[in-house]
Structure 1
Amino acid sequence: MRSGVRELFRQAQQNILYLNKQRILAMEELDRVKREKRSLLDRIEQLERIKLMYTRKRCDKFSLSAELLLRIDSMVLTNLIGSKEASEFRRLVMDSIGSIADYFSEIMHKQDTEILVELRHFPRKSRKSGYHIIHICTEMAPVVSVGSLAPYVTGLSRALQRKGNLVEVILPKYASLNLNEVHGLREVEAEFHSYFNGQLHGNRIWTGVVCGIGVTFIEPLYYSTFFSCENIYGYSHDFERFTYFSRASLDYIVKAGKQPDVLHIHNWETSIVGPLFWDVFVNQGFGGTRIMLTCQSFESQCVEQPEKLALCGLDPYGLHCSDRLQDNNKSHLVNVLKAGVVYSNNVIIMSSMQTKGQIIHATSHGLEPTLTIHKDKLVVAPPGFDSSAWDPSVDKFLPQNYSADNMKGKSVCQVSLQQHLGLQEKVSIILVGCIFSDISDIELENLKTLIWMASRRGVQFVFMGSDQTPGLNSALEYFEELKDENMRFLNKYDESLAHLVLAGSDIMLCPSFDDTLLQIPLKAMRYGAMPILLDFTDSKYGHFVDRDLEDTEFSRYIKDTFSNMPLNQAIDELKNNPSKWDKKIVDAMTKDFSWDAECCDIHISAYTAIKNL
């Protein structure tokens, strides 16, 4: 009996030992698997870092350089470095934009103190030509877009950087910002105060990179409601809101130790920077800085009581005179846009088709006397478009890509558009597209007649607007009886479909060739669609004979090629003389009217001119 118990005990011990051994082996195996998994994850992470670094090195050198510049600003605000050393570092970044991005790509996650050490040891190179430009503005695509200012600021800034200039943007920190489009958004942990209404007020400073451009966002603390509004414009205290921002921007530039070549201001909203700069700030390290104003139009000017100028530190009595800020029509008020014109070294007016003389005498909205006096510093520039996003040879929204050298894909796009909209699918059918942001200037009865006549010839029409387009709903009701198998009205703007409309259309009807918002005429030419003007109203400046022959290259090309061709004539040419049509289309597709071309060149020439003053 005892021997049996001992045997059972011995077997139990052996089993326990065996199980322990198996458990140890299993734990060792588990540890081995964990080590392998950890090693594999480390390797994956390493490869991801290499991939990210490689991608950033190749494709995002501007973003890395912009991020580094913003870190330099942070070093100044936190008193790590002084203004002089900061200026040297900014010039270093500007002169070494490619190599410095490679060098710093792996350490941008480190603290400012560690980055500072590396900056001080980075080898200096010979100075390159190029300007340091700071935009003080109220819009920038795609973070905050209302009108034509937003794509202009982003498109021009990117083009300027590609040509060796250093560009920064300062914006209000609106509550409605699209922060998903801001890379590396961070709050600068430093106190910053700006002057307004007799006192210094605190602000939060945020920095980030948008489309490769370094952006600083200013957030007021005491006046926190200024930019927490639902809309960007249209409030009774807009003067106070944007005057606060303009003054805060200049205070920030001084605090950060920046010494830009050009302060570029925009429309009336930041025009007050002009007199502020020359009357208050010019002696604070800005001896080499000049002021550039861009006006998208002169329609919105902002007139106010003179005493309100004191809010930002200006002298109301010294400025309320005819050669300064006094409004030309309401002499008891001051005109903020006039301030920008008078106090800027150069004024760029964005227009595709108008000459300087036409703008001064026909579309200046009461500023004609001021613009006439300052005519020599006015420059007209056409808007551009983003040729990387709007290029049929690489467009990801198209079923088949094409180019001027190989147009086969355009027929595929036309059939795809017809299929998508339920139109008859046939390449031989002429398809006319129209994408518009405003129809207020279109004579609907004449347009209705034109559409009816063309549709009787078998022409297909696709109209695209948006629910924000003024007068769209009433226009849709007006055209209700025209709806048939050849007509489609889309009351919602769809970005991907807009690409297909351009690619699938033979002709694009344009309410105006001066399209600074959507740039449809420019995009139409790039996509092989002939831009034809919907010109049913008298020209705003048709009565004015301009002896100023300073047309832009774009204006001359449009006038020589497309401007005198009505829709019926274009349809006839497409049907009866396709070889002539194809030659025009291919020629138009090869023209470069992007931001990098004429628009950017005109701006660089203007910067050069004012720097030489």
Structure 2
Amino acid sequence: MRVLFVASEMAPWVKVGGLGDVLGSLPPALRALGVDVRVCLPAHAGVLDRAPEPRLVERFEVHHQKGPMLVEVFESRLGDLPVYLISGPTIPRDAAVYSADMGEEAPRFVLFSLAALELAKRLSVDVLHCHDWHAAAATWQLARRREVDPALRGMTSLLTVHNLPYAGHGAAGALYDFGIQATDDDRLPEHLRHTPLGLGLVAADAISTVSRGYAREILTAHYGHGFEHLLSTRREDLYGIMNGLDLARWDPATDPALPAGFSADALAGRRACRRELAHALGLPQDRPIVAVVSRLVSQKGIDVALRALRAVSDRVSVALLGEGDPHLEHEVRSLAAAFPAHVSATIGFDAALARRMYGGADMVLMPSRYEPCGMTQMIGMRYGCVPVACETGGLADTVLDLDLSEAPTGVLFPEPTAAS
């Protein structure tokens, strides 16, 4: 069986969040099991400079209202995994992975989706596995075109939703320019009928999301963001499949970012990691160290975390690492300024520091308002950093609570509030 993963990012070449981690680990794992897996990415964010020896393998045109757009496809490899990089007029090679400007972002990902479908056809793919709104238009076009194109009739589609609220709002103009009309499916509210994710969820042969808990939650009005009625009618096609952690890439016994290796059976190295982390961040050794390693956005409950940490600032040390919303970045800096002796704040993303925080902190705090899966809690458990998390989505599926389990792995609290 030949499977083509279609997504906007893949670690280590181009990564912003958990999607990049999934694409960097799941396809190689499936390939090792004997599945003919390939990956398709946009040639953006300088990925052509990081991919080893990319070679041009395809050229073809994609329809556009102003005239056909020439697309080029480059092939490279991540180990023995074939990776295809799509380049075209609306896919800037030096652009950031994502943009707040939908006038730039929507044409990029619509062209990418349609080019990925054409590539899948040329590769005689059996399963087109699309991820999030950035690739969802491919599932819609596949459903439309296989009715008239014999070369597509044997191809099925799977659309994986990593974060439902990100639907591609504002992409209607780009869809129209590439010849894609809004759906009239009344299971969707009007404002979602011209979004790439809305089209994809209507058309995909199967839908998955990244935990069983999130699959249940998105059937409700609170978490469904307008998609709940459609998803409820497609319940039989909806699967919750937990993301996994690559235990070879995340191994505290061999992690080169740590000052000392350790394992569950040999914890002396973890004590050394804790001492080094406290010293490096200027934190006292005699307080529990609470880590926050996160995008600084409302979804992650960062405002909740800051209020809670301020309330217990006389009892714990805090290490914060992340970037995102400028207002939340300011609030993080303000907390560190108010308690400089026992709060450290690093704005930005530092992969090595993140690993040292997992390996040296006592707890990792995750007060997410919703969390489709979450990787931080899994890494924390792997590195002996106890997750303290809101009981939602994938967090509830993976963290075994101290008061509810005979073999606890963390602490769950019921609501994303400072009091909780």
TM bucket, shorter chain: 0.7 to 0.9
Corresponding residue number in structure 1 for 2:238:
378
Is contact 2:296–2:324 with CA below 8 Å preserved after alignment?
Answer: no
Report deviation, 1:194.
3.1
Q: Tell me the distance in 2 between the aligned counterparts of 1:206 and 1:555.
A: 41
Corresponding residue number in structure 2 for 1:509:
365
Report deviation, 1:356.
1.5
Superposed, 1:210-359 pairs within 5 Å as: 210-220=78-88, 224-228=89-93, 230-231=95-96, 232-233=98-99, 234-254=101-121, 256=122, 258-281=123-146, 283-302=149-168, 311-314=177-180, 316=181, 320-323=183-186, 327-330=188-191, 334-351=194-211, 353-359=213-219
- For 1:156, give the aligned amino acid: L
Corresponding residue number in structure 2 for 1:185:
54
Report deviation, 1:133.
0.8
Q: 1:169 to 1:443 in 2, by over 3 A?
A: closer
Q: 1:338 to 1:443 in 2, by over 3 A?
A: closer
Report deviation, 1:517.
8.8
- For 1:500, give the aligned amino acid: R
Q: 1:516 to 1:409 in 2, by over 3 A?
A: farther
Is contact 2:302–2:328 with CA below 8 Å preserved after alignment?
Answer: no
- For 2:289, give the aligned amino acid: L
Q: 1:445 to 1:399 in 2, by over 3 A?
A: closer
Secondary structure of the structure 2 residue equivalent to 1:462: strand
Superposed, 1:4-19 pairs within 5 Å as: none
Q: 1:214 to 1:517 in 2, by over 3 A?
A: farther
Q: 1:456 to 1:134 in 2, by over 3 A?
A: same
Q: Tell me the distance in 2 between the aligned counterparts of 1:359 and 1:228.
A: 38
Q: Tell me the distance in 2 between the aligned counterparts of 1:144 and 1:270.
A: 16
2:407 is equivalent to residue 561 of structure 1: no
Q: 1:480 to 1:371 in 2, by over 3 A?
A: same
2:71 is equivalent to residue 203 of structure 1: yes
Report deviation, 1:528.
0.9
Is contact 1:142–1:178 with CA below 8 Å preserved after alignment?
Answer: no
Task: Please list the CA deviations of residues 153-205 of structure 1 after superposition, one character each: whole Å capped at 9, or x if unmatched.
Answer: 2222122222221211122222x2234531221223x6433333385443222
Task: Report which of the two structures shows the higher radius of gyration computed on alpha carbons.
Answer: 1
2:273 is equivalent to residue 391 of structure 1: no
Secondary structure of the structure 1 residue equivalent to 2:209: strand
Q: Could you list the runs of 5+ residues in structure 2 that have no partner in the other structure? A: 411-420
Is contact 1:140–1:151 with CA below 8 Å preserved after alignment?
Answer: yes
Q: Tell me the distance in 2 between the aligned counterparts of 1:529 and 1:207.
A: 39
Secondary structure of the structure 1 residue equivalent to 2:354: helix
Corresponding residue number in structure 1 for 2:314:
456
Count of residues in Structure 1 that have an aligned counterpart in Structure 2: 406
Q: Tell me the distance in 2 between the aligned counterparts of 1:382 and 1:149.
A: 13
Is contact 2:291–2:357 with CA below 8 Å preserved after alignment?
Answer: yes
Corresponding residue number in structure 1 for 2:42:
172
Task: Please list the CA deviations of residues 552-595 of structure 1 after superposition, one character each: whole Å capped at 9, or x if unmatched.
Answer: 7x74452x425889xxxxxxxxxxxxxx9xx756xx8xxxxxxx
Q: 1:313 to 1:397 in 2, by over 3 A?
A: same
Q: 1:446 to 1:200 in 2, by over 3 A?
A: closer
Secondary structure of the structure 2 residue equivalent to 1:403: coil
Is contact 2:128–2:157 with CA below 8 Å preserved after alignment?
Answer: yes
Report deviation, 1:343.
0.8
Secondary structure of the structure 2 residue equivalent to 1:528: coil
Q: 1:147 to 1:465 in 2, by over 3 A?
A: closer
- For 1:251, give the aligned amino acid: E
Corresponding residue number in structure 1 for 2:329:
472
Secondary structure of the structure 1 residue equivalent to 2:318: strand
Report deviation, 1:285.
2.2
Q: 1:295 to 1:531 in 2, by over 3 A?
A: same
TM-score, length of structure 1 as denominator length: 0.59
Q: 2:26 aligns with which of 156, 163, 176?
A: 156
Is contact 1:263–1:289 with CA below 8 Å preserved after alignment?
Answer: yes
Q: Tell me the distance in 2 between the aligned counterparts of 1:439 and 1:307.
A: 28
Task: Please list the CA deviations of residues 84-129 of structure 1 after superposition, one character each: whole Å capped at 9, or x if unmatched.
Answer: xxxxxxxxxxxxxxxxxxxxxxxxxxxxxxxxxxxxxxxxxxxxxx
Q: 1:480 to 1:406 in 2, by over 3 A?
A: same
**Identity value in percent:** 22
Q: Tell me the distance in 1 between the aligned counterparts of 2:212 and 2:173.
A: 38
Is contact 1:392–1:403 with CA below 8 Å preserved after alignment?
Answer: yes
More helix by proportion, 1 or 2?
Answer: 1
TM-score, length of structure 2 as denominator length: 0.83
Q: 1:297 to 1:197 in 2, by over 3 A?
A: same
Secondary structure of the structure 2 residue equivalent to 1:236: helix
Secondary structure of the structure 2 residue equivalent to 1:275: helix
Report deviation, 1:474.
2.6
2:11 is equivalent to residue 141 of structure 1: yes
Report deviation, 1:293.
0.3
